Chain A
Amino acid sequence: MSETSQLTVDAGAPAGPGRPVPRIRLSRYRDLSLLPVILVLGVIGFIVSPAFLTSDNLIGVLQQTSELSLLVLGEAMILICGRMDLSLESTIGVAPVIAMWLVMPSSGPATYHGIGLLPGWMSIPACLVVGLLIGGFNGFMILKLRVNGFIVTLGMLTMLRGLQDGISQGKSIVEVPGSFSYLGKASWLGAPAAVWICLVLFAAGGLALGYLRHGRALYAIGGNTEAARAAGIRVDRITWIVLALGGLLAAFAGVLYVGHYGAVSSTQGDGWIFQVFAATVIGGVSLNGGRGTLFGALTGVIALQLVVNVTTLGGVPPLWDKFLYGAIIIVALIISRFASGEKQD
C-alpha cells in the first residue's frame, strides 16, 4: 500500500504558479484603488474652490456621508452574501416614522399625533426594532418563501414608502424626541458623533468580515452557496441575520438623519438606493456576491460624496447630481469589468 499512497511530483506544475501571482497582488491593491482617486478629488477640490479644504466643508461632507454610509455598510454585507436589498432606502424613512407614531402623544400641541403607546425614551429602540423586523421580514420572504429577492425588496421599497406616507399623513414630522436629536447633533472630539459612530461600525464590520468565522462565511455563501452548505455553514440562518442587520443599520441611519436635520422628512431616503449601489460598486463589491470589502465600500461612499461636493463647489447646479451618480456607477462598472477581467452578466 505504501508505494501507491506516496504522492508523486506533477510535471505540469510549473505552468501553474507563474501566472496567478500578479493577480493576487492586484486584488490585494484593489481595496486601496479608490484612495488615489480620493486624493485626486481633493487636489481638484482645492483648485476649484478655496472653500474645499476648510474643516467646515470637510466635516460637512463627512456628516452627509455618515447616513448614506450606514446603508452602504448594510448593502455591502448583503451583496457579499450574494443577496440584494433595495428596500433599505425606505427603511431609513419608515422606521423613524413608526417610532414617532408609537411615542408621540395622541393629543397635544404638537402638529403630529401618534398613539402614545411608548414613552419618549423608547423612540430609538423602537426605531431599531422596526428596522430589524423589516430586514427579518425580507429574509423570511427571500429564504422561507423563496421568492425573488430583487422583486420582493423592490415591492418592499414601494410598500414601505407608502406606509410612511400613510402614517405620517404625507407630512414631515418636526417635533422629535431629544434622544433622537442628540446623536445627530452632538459633536465628539471636534467631529460629529455620527461620523465617529459610522467609523466604529465600519471598523467593527470590517473586522467581523475579516476575522470572525461567521463573517468569513459571508464570502463563502456569496461565492458558492451550495459549497458553503455542503461545508456545514448554516447558510439560511446567516443570510437571514445579514438581511436583518441591513434593516437595523438602515433604521439607525434614519436615527442619525433625523437627528441631523431635526425632523423626519417625508422624502427621507428617497432615491438613495442608487447612491448606495453606486458607492458599493465603485468600492469594489461584486454584485454577484462573494467579493469585496467594507473598507472598499467606505472609500466608495467617500469618493462619491467628494465628487458631488467638488462639483457643487465648482458651480455645477445640484440638479446635475443624479446625472453624476448615474455616470459614476456606469464608469465604475466598466472599469471594474476590465480591471477584474470578468464578465458581469
Chain B
Amino acid sequence: MTDSTKGTLGTTDDDPPPAVRAEGVVKRFGPTLALDRVGISVAAGDSHALVGRNGAGKSTLVSVLTGLHTPDAGQVFFQDEPAPSGGDTAAWQSKVACVYQKSMVVPDLSVAENLFLGRFGPGRIRWSQLRARAGDLLAEYGVDVDPAARAGDLTVEQGQFVEIARALSFGARFIILDEPTAQLDAAGIERLFTKLRELQAQGVAFLFISHHLQEVYDLCSTVTVYRDARHVLTAPVADLGKAELVAAMTGEEAPAPTASAWHAGSAASAEPAEPVLRAEALALDGAYEPIDLAVCPGEVVGLAGATASGNTALGETLVGLRRATSGRTLVGGRPVRPGSVPHALGAGIGYVPEDRHRQGLVLGRSVAENATLSVTDQLGPYGTVLPSRTRAFAQRMISSLDIKTSGPAQPVADLSGGNQQKVVIARALAREPRVLVAIRPTAGVDVKSKDSLLSVVRGVADRGDAAVIVSDELDDLRVCDRVIALFHGRVIAEFGSGWTDRDLVSAMEGLPAGGGKGAEE
C-alpha cells in the first residue's frame, strides 16, 4: 500500500505497473469463441470501463481475470507479475476481486463475520476481537457500517462497500465491478461513486462494467469496448462521444436521433379519450399514498421514481400482485378485483415483471412454454393445451418480436438477457392486453435490445392500447407521453413529453420540477 499513495496521474515516466494487463486472451466454450485474442490494461488507480453488448465477452473476461476460468491462450499479469495458477484461490484473492450485481454477502451473518469469513484464525472465535478488527478495517476505507449489523439489513450499496472492503483486506488493489448500479437508486449510485473515487485516490484500480453509459462518463477515465468476443477500442472517455461509443459497441453508425424520435407526437394524444386504465385513490400502506391515475388509449405513461419511491409497488398493485389497502383500479370503466393477477389479466392488463429471473421466466422450460404461460386457456378446447398450437403461437411471437432462438423448444435459460426479456414481453402481449404494465423493462439488457424492447412497448400504444412503464431509467421514460414522478410514495411532479433529464432526475430525488439547483450534488 505504500506505493499506492504516490499518485494517480498516468503520464509520468515512473508509472506504477498496470494493476492488470491481459494479452491475447482466447477462451472457447465448445464451438463458441467467447474471447478472441483480446487484451485489456488497467492502470493503477484508474477507473476503467468495459462496455459491450450482451455476448461481447465481458463476463468471460471477468471470469478469466478472477481466475474462475483458465484462458486457452494468452496471459494475465497483475502489477507485471504473471497471474497465479488456476486453483490457487488465496493467491487470486490477494490480486483481484469482483463485486457482482447481486450481493455475495451471507445475509444472516454479521458484517464482521462476512468480512472475515473463512479466515477467523486458529482456535475459537473471539467475537469482540473480530468486531474490533472489522471496525478497524471498515474505518480504514471510510465505510460507515456497524460491524455487528446483520449483513442482510444493509442497503445494497453498503453491502457492496463491505465486499469491496473485504477484497481490499486480502491485499487486492484491483476490483471488478460487474453492473454494480443495477440495483441501486440514484442516491445509492452517488454514494457508491463517491466511495470509489476515494479508493481510487488510494491507488485502487477499478474495472467497471455497466450497461449504463452515462455512468461510464460520470465515473471512468478510460473505456474499452468489446464486440462479438473481440477488442474494438480503448480510449480516454473524454475523447469519445456517446454516439461514437454506441457505434463502437454496435458496430454501426449510431441512430443518433433515436432518443428524440421516441417522444410521441403530442397531437395524437391531445384529444381527450375515455381512459382505458384508471386508478382511483389507490393506496398501499407503507408503500404509497392515495394516487389517481388515468391512462388513455394510445398513451404511454411513465411512473418514475427511485427504489423506495413506491412506483414499483404501484405497478404491482395495478397488475394484481399486491392488494391495495384502499381505492380501486378500473379497466375500460369496469373495476378490477383487487389483489388477483388472473382477474387483472382477464380485465386486459398485461404485465412485464421487474426481475425476469425471479418473476418473469421459468428458466428450465422452453421458449414456447414461457411465451404462452398466460394464454394456456386459448391453446385448445376444454382446458387442453395442444402442442401444435403452442408451437405455432410461440413461433408467431418469436418472429414478431424477433427473438433470437433456435426454436420454440429451446430452454429459455439458454437465451441472452435481451432475448429472455423479449420472451417475458411476448408473454405479456400474448393476451393482447389493453394496458401493458412494464416494470423496468430494459434492466440488464444491451443497448440495441433496449431499443427494440421499448419500441414494442411504444407499439402497444401506437396500435390504440395503452402502456405504463415503471422505471427510473431515463431511456425507458423517454418513450412515455407523460411521466409521473413519485417520491416517498407521493406524486411529486408530472411532465409532458418535453422534460429534460435534469428536471426528471431532480424530481426523482425529491426536488420538485424546476428546483434543479443542487440536484446533481
Contacts and interface: CB of A to CB of B under 8 A. Distances in A.
B369 A231 contact: no
Interface stretch (A10-18, A100-108, A156-164, A186-194): A10-18
A219 B321 contact: no
B517 interface: no
B383 A230 contact: no
Nearest to B346: A232
B384 A223 contact: no
B55 interface: yes
B385 interface: yes
A228 B373 contact: yes
Interface residues of A, number: 42
Contacts of B455: 4-5, 7
Given A20-B414, A219-B365, A232 B360 contact: no
Nearest to B342: A232
A145 interface: no
B373 A220 contact: yes
B385 A232 contact: no
B462 interface: yes
B44 interface: no
B365 A16 contact: no
B275 interface: no
Nearest to B356: A227
A219 B456 CA distance: 28
A287 to B, nearest CB: 13
Residue among A18, A21, A228, A232 with the highest chain B CB neighbour number at 10 A: A232
B31 interface: yes
Contacts of A24: 409-411
A231 B53 CA distance: 29
A146 interface: no
Interface string A1-34: 1011101101111011111110110000000000
Contact of B386 (A10, A13, A211, A230): A211
B191 interface: no
A343 interface: no
A143 to B, nearest CB: 16
B361 interface: yes
A216 interface: yes
A183 to B, nearest CB: 29
Interface stretch (B149-157, B293-301, B397-405): B397-405
A1 B406 contact: no
A291 interface: yes
A231 to B, nearest CB: 4
A256 B130 CA distance: 63
B359 A291 contact: no
A230 B321 contact: yes
B514 interface: no
B425 to A, nearest CB: 12
A4 B415 CA distance: 23
A4 B447 CA distance: 13
B332 interface: no
A322 interface: no
Contact of B359 (A216, A230, A234): A230
Residue among B361, B387, B462 with the highest chain A CB neighbour number at 10 A: B361
Contact of B462 (A1, A17, A227, A291): A1
A231 B55 contact: no
Interface string B314-348: 00000101000000000000000000011011100
A56 interface: no
Interface in A115-137: none
B452 A8 contact: yes
B351 A230 contact: yes
Interface residues of B, number: 63
A179 interface: no
Given A18-B32, A290-B364, A12 B55 contact: yes
B50 to A, nearest CB: 16
A8 B418 CA distance: 13
B434 interface: no
Nearest to A217: B376
Nearest to B34: A15
Contact of B261 (A4, A17, A23, A226): A4
Nearest to A18: B31
Contact of B251 (A11, A211, A228): A11
B380 interface: yes
Contacts of A223: 362-365
A15 B56 CA distance: 11
Contacts of B255: 3-4
B385 A216 contact: yes
B385 A219 contact: no
Interface in A199-216: 210-216
Nearest to A234: B342
A230 B360 contact: yes
B228 A12 contact: yes
Contacts of B251: 11
A1 B451 CA distance: 12
Contacts of A21: 406
Nearest to A15: B32
A295 B370 CA distance: 23
A119 to B, nearest CB: 36
A55 interface: no
B287 interface: no
A279 B373 CA distance: 29
B362 A232 contact: no
Contacts of A224: 358-359, 361-363
Contact of A5 (B373, B414, B459): B459
B458 A1 contact: yes
A229 B321 contact: yes
Contact of B362 (A3, A12, A227): A227
9 contacts: A1-B462, A3-B255, A18-B31, A21-B406, A216-B385, A229-B359, A230-B341, A230-B359, A232-B342
Given A5-B452, A233-B342, 12 more contacts: A20-B410, A210-B387, A213-B383, A220-B365, A224-B362, A226-B353, A227-B358, A227-B373, A231-B374, A231-B427, A232-B345, A232-B374
Interface of B: 30-32, 53-56, 228, 251, 255, 258, 261-262, 319, 321, 341-342, 344-346, 351, 353, 358-365, 369-370, 373-374, 376-377, 379-380, 383-387, 401-402, 404-406, 409-411, 414-416, 427, 448, 451-452, 455-456, 458-459, 462
